[in-house]
Amino acid sequence: MKPILSILARRYIAGETITDAMSAAKQLYGDGLLAAIDNLGENVRDEQSSLAAVREYLKLLDDIICSGVRSTVSVKLTQLGLDISDELAFQNAEAIAAKALSQNNFVWLDMEGSAYTQRTIDIFLRLRKDRPNVGIAIQSCLKRSRADLRLLIERHACVRLVKGAYKEPPEISFKEKKDVDKNFEIMMRELLLEGNRPAIATHDPRLIEAAISFASERNIPSKDFEFQMLLGIKRSLQKSLASRGYTVRVYIPYGTNWLPYTMRRLMERKENIFFVIKNIFD
């Protein structure tokens, strides 16, 4: 399976090194697209591995400055030690955020499975007291997310709205795509009206045009929000939106952990497999 997945992954994962990520970011920048770079890794079980992830992100931030590309970074708290302790994850995330703030850069906290939702929000709110350059992802597939969004809007947080790629129990999540999409659209409107420069993270053309229409109707400037998409997905749509004057940021994953990352995502939900295959020729 590894050779097959390696061929497939080349489109959606920049490579194994920071140099590979920088190369992908530079190519996107040439097309008028911004980047959010993620060093792949999650669920580390020892403190030394979490500290190694911090060192990688600190180097990544320096390399972004040297490269001249416009890129934020994106991190998972379980890569920073959340499975070990909340305090370790907080301290490691704070080190990355502090370095980013000193360079006038930004850090996104990815949202992982529902077992980590509340802890991720708690750490985010604690971080943001001194680090305003931190944002958080919220998943429209979870039934709790509208309440979470209200809290985050009240705290003037930067939010990345996503549908969610994790398989979740039916009692806490919407199972039908139409319900996930409906919740996404409701939350998207709230963010456009009241959010702090939100990120609308979707590849769905209908939802993207709905956001554009809503913003236009309410006289919300395009500079007050951005669209985010994954590397290698809907590339023509990414360029089209950028050519229309919208900010588009592309999520660039890289790292030696690309195989377990790819396998987990494909095995978690059959929809992830169909999504990759459907977009392979765009």
Report how far residue 77's alpha carbon sits from residue 61's, in angstroms, rounded to the nearest whole number.
17
pLDDT of residue 143: 98
Task: List phi, psi (to 5°) of 234.
Answer: 55, 50
- Cα(71)–Cα(268) distance, integer angstroms: 29
**Integer Cα distance of 248 and 201 in angstroms:** 10
User: Domain 2-278 falls in which CATH fold?
Assistant: TIM Barrel (3.20.20)
Please tell me the predicted confidence (pLDDT) of residue 11: 74
Neighbour tally for 218: CB within 10 Å: 10
Whether residue 264 lies in the annotated active site: no
CA distance 55 to 50: 9
Helices vs. strands in the chain: H and E counts, helices first: 11, 8
Within 8 A by CB and 6+ apart from 235, the residues are 282
Say how far apart CA 32 and CA 278 lie, in whole Å. 25
**What's the CA gap between 254 and 60, in Å, rounded?**
11
E strands, 163-205, in order: 199-201
For position 18, what pLDDT does the model report? 97
Burial grade of 98 (CB within 10 A; 0-12, 13-18, 19 or more): middle
Both tokens of 200, joined, read 């609308």
- Other beta carbons within 10 Å of 19: 13
Average pLDDT by stretches of 10, the chain with 282 residues = 62 91 96 97 96 98 94 98 98 98 98 97 97 98 98 98 92 96 98 98 97 98 97 94 98 86 61 58 62
- Among 38, 128, 131, 160, the active-site one is 160
The reported pLDDT for the residue numbered 270 is: 55
**Could you tell me the two tokens for 135?**
């944002």
Do residues 166 and 268 make contact, with C-beta atoms less than 8 angstroms apart? Answer: yes
What backbone phi and psi angles, to 5 degrees, belong to 117?
-60, -55
Residue in this structure with the two tokens 């669920």, named with its chain if needed: 43
* 31 a catalytic residue: no
Give which of 112, 108, 50, 41 is closest to 81, Cα–Cα.
50
Q: Per the residue annotation, which of 38, 110, 148, 181 is the catalytic one?
A: 110
Amino acid (one-letter) located at 248: V
pLDDT at position 12 is 84
Q: What pLDDT does 277 receive? A: 59
Q: What distance in Å separates the CA atoms of residue 215 and residue 79, rounded to the nearest whole number?
A: 36
Tokens of 63: 């390399």
Q: How far apart are the first and last CA of the chain?
A: 24
Q: What is the pLDDT of residue 10?
A: 72
Residues 137 and 135: their CA atoms lie apart, in Å, by 7
By CB atoms closer than 10 A (0-12, 13-18, 19+), residue 270 is exposed
Is-contact 73 36, C-beta < 8 A?
yes
